[in-house]
Amino acid sequence: MKELEIQRAAHLLEQEFGSNWRAIAEELGTEGLRKRVGKDLTSFMAFPNRGNGGDSHWRGNCSPEVVSAVLRYVLDTKKYYGKDTSTFTLLDPMSGSGTSQYAANKYQVRSLLYDLNPAPLCGRGNWNALKNEVDDSADLIFFHPPYHNIIKYSGTMWGSPHPDDLSRCESYEDFLEKLNYCVRKFFFALRKDGRLAILVGDIRTKGKFYSIQHDMMRMGNFESFLVKGQFNCVSDSQTYRKPFIPIVTEYLLVYHKPDALMVPFSWKRNDQFSVTCVDLESLTWHHLIRMTLEYMGGQAFLSELYDFLKGHPKSQKNCHYQERIRATLYEHPSEYVPVSRGCFRLIYAVA
Ligand SMILES: C[S@@+](CC[C@H](N)C(=O)[O-])C[C@H]1O[C@@H](n2cnc3c(N)ncnc32)[C@H](O)[C@@H]1O
């Protein structure tokens, strides 16, 4: 058994480092090796040195190490459960510079690459995720879409502006709708026991933060959420006057398709409500009054509060709502200061 394991380790080292693996292994030592080879895919990845494969000059390209790591994991998992991998297929339906092909070649698996670009560096061009059929099926679909309009592909990286280019959507909502369509389409193209691995980053555009990974729909069993450090971004070299939290990570979301027909999914719903119209158990009189005072500029007379809150569902249920409002103001002296007869100010409001 031990002998077999050693053989397997040697095989993995050879795959990872090539024929010079013995010398490299000696230099790295066991701790370094543990972090670099085998099943050491963890929920955090960082590849400051991008590595070879694909084109590092193609804007928005990803490190081949990302595809390799997830491919290796899926292959290892299949082998662990005694599944056949002879027909294993990796599909990258938005393949850009062709990074996935390098990973597939490294692990000697069949790869299929598609892109809307009519003349991609490798794979099938002129393939439109919003219109064309996925002719093939796959065990792993590595899906790396544009991050909305952060990098425009058609018209800048290739050809002329294309209406179905995901980097040229009218709005973030339009982008999400098309992205979710792709998620469904690619999930249906998975074989049973397959995985959909989606690499996406959050974005800030015109000062607004959008979390693509948070907003997009989920399909299949959510198997892992990997955080990946971002390196060599154009934004790294820019300086900004307004304070904000820079985005330095992106995410690899891995979904498993456990069943041929049953599809687990979840969909995020965005909405908003006004606290003036709802009565929630978690919304106390205190914070309802506090927020109302904020709305009124930080200070108000009792009569103004009574008037403003008389139609609130809480008041509708309480015929003594005026007494309740008055009592609440006195019960929280750390938040409300009486400024004159029947007039209250929030402690943190600018006088
Ligand atoms: C982030 S890049 C992929 C980069 C790639 N992983 C690499 O390492 O080079 C996204 C790709 O999606 C392609 N794309 C955009 N809209 C598409 C569509 N509707 N159908 C197919 N590909 C599309 C773009 O042409 C671009 O090459």
Residue 92 CA, ligand 1 centroid: distance in Å: 9
Position 6 scores a pLDDT of 74
SS3 category, 44: strand
Tell whether the model's pLDDT for residue 290 goes beyond 90. Answer: yes
Residue nearest atom 13 of ligand 1, based on CA coordinates: 94
Position 38 scores a pLDDT of 42
pLDDT in tens, 41-83: 888 888 877 778 878 888 989 999 999 999 999 999 999 999 9
What is the pLDDT confidence band of residue 237, given thresholds at 50, 70 and 90?
low
Residue 131 CA, ligand 1 centroid: distance in Å: 15
Cβ atoms 37, 21 nearer than 8 A: no
What is the pLDDT confidence band of residue 37, given thresholds at 50, 70 and 90?
very low
156 lines ligand 1 (CB under 6 A): no
Tell whether the model's pLDDT for residue 236 goes beyond 90. Answer: no
Residue 77 CA, ligand 1 centroid: distance in Å: 28
pLDDT in tens, 120-156: 999 999 999 999 999 999 999 999 999 999 999 999 9
142 lines ligand 1 (CB under 6 A): no
For range 211-223, the mean pLDDT: 97
Position 55 scores a pLDDT of 84
Position 316 scores a pLDDT of 97
For range 23-42, the mean pLDDT: 64
For range 170-183, the mean pLDDT: 97
Residue 36 CA, ligand 1 centroid: distance in Å: 28
Closest alpha carbon to 74 in 88, 86, 92: 88
Residue 238 or residue 195, greater confidence: 195
SS3 category, 195: strand
What is the pLDDT confidence band of residue 233, given thresholds at 50, 70 and 90?
low
Q: Residue 291 and residue 289: Cα distance in Å, rounded?
A: 6
304 lines ligand 1 (CB under 6 A): no
Q: How many CB atoms lie within 10 A of CB 165?
A: 23
Closest alpha carbon to 159 in 196, 191, 116: 116
Q: Residue 15 and residue 49: Cα distance in Å, rounded?
A: 19
Which residue out of 70, 116, 150, 179 has the highest number of ligand 1 atoms within 8 Å of its CB and is therefore the one to mutate? 116
153 lines ligand 1 (CB under 6 A): yes
Position 230 scores a pLDDT of 86
pLDDT in tens, 148-173: 999 999 999 999 999 999 999 999 99
Residue nearest atom 12 of ligand 1, based on CA coordinates: 94
For range 321-328, the mean pLDDT: 98
65 lines ligand 1 (CB under 6 A): no
